[in-house]
Amino acid sequence: MVDFLCHTYGWRPFTEPNLLNPYLDDFYGDMDRWAFHSQISFLAHKFRIHMDLMQEPSTVVQDRTIYEDAEIFARYLHEAGHMSERDFGTYSDLYAAMRKALAPPDLLIRLECSVRALRRRIRKRGRPEEQDIPLKYIKSLQGLYEDWFDRYDLSPVLVINTERLDYIGDMVDRLEVRRALEPFLS
């Protein structure tokens, strides 16, 4: 979606800094040992990106926000027992302090699809470290996303069901996405 929006509207992309996280490979190998380190690294990178975005004069699109890292991924790791109460408390305190400094996004676009579609897209994306992600993990994250979206109130939310939507290859689907975005562009 980020590429589509940037190409269609000329917006600047800000993508998730996976390659900048020096703990990611270790994390996928041993979540209990590296969850806190990996999440702190993501939090630091996302905070820097968000601060840069607040200074950006043009419209930008971010593929995943600092809010999701904290309220979905770190929460999952804590609830699943991969991050101790002490580590999660430290992480949460840091996130709360950072959040006070951040301006909320103008719009959140929620892309919905089934777990089956998510797994298919993960395989297609082809990142080696993601190919053996357990189904339980994906289902848990999807549930946390649903809970988070129910509570999210920082900005308007546009929901787009992408289960069968091909906004890259199908002109009708592209028009549908553009039409859905129009009320938020003025």
CB-based burial label for 136 (10 Å; 0-12, 13-18, 19+):
exposed
Coil, helix or strand at residue 63: coil
Residue 26 designated active-site: no
Candidate list 25, 52, 63, 166, residue with the active-site label: 63
Give the pLDDT confidence of 29-41 residue by residue, as tens digits: 899 999 999 999 9
Q: What's the predicted TM-score (pTM) here?
A: 0.82
Give the pLDDT confidence of 73-121 residue by residue, as tens digits: 999 999 999 999 999 999 999 999 999 999 999 999 998 999 998 888 8
Distance CA(100)–CA(135), nearest Å, equals 34
Whose CA is closest to 111, among 56, 58, 166, 186?
166
CATH of 2-184, one of 1.20.140.10, 1.10.260.40, 3.40.50.300, 3.40.50.1240: 3.40.50.300
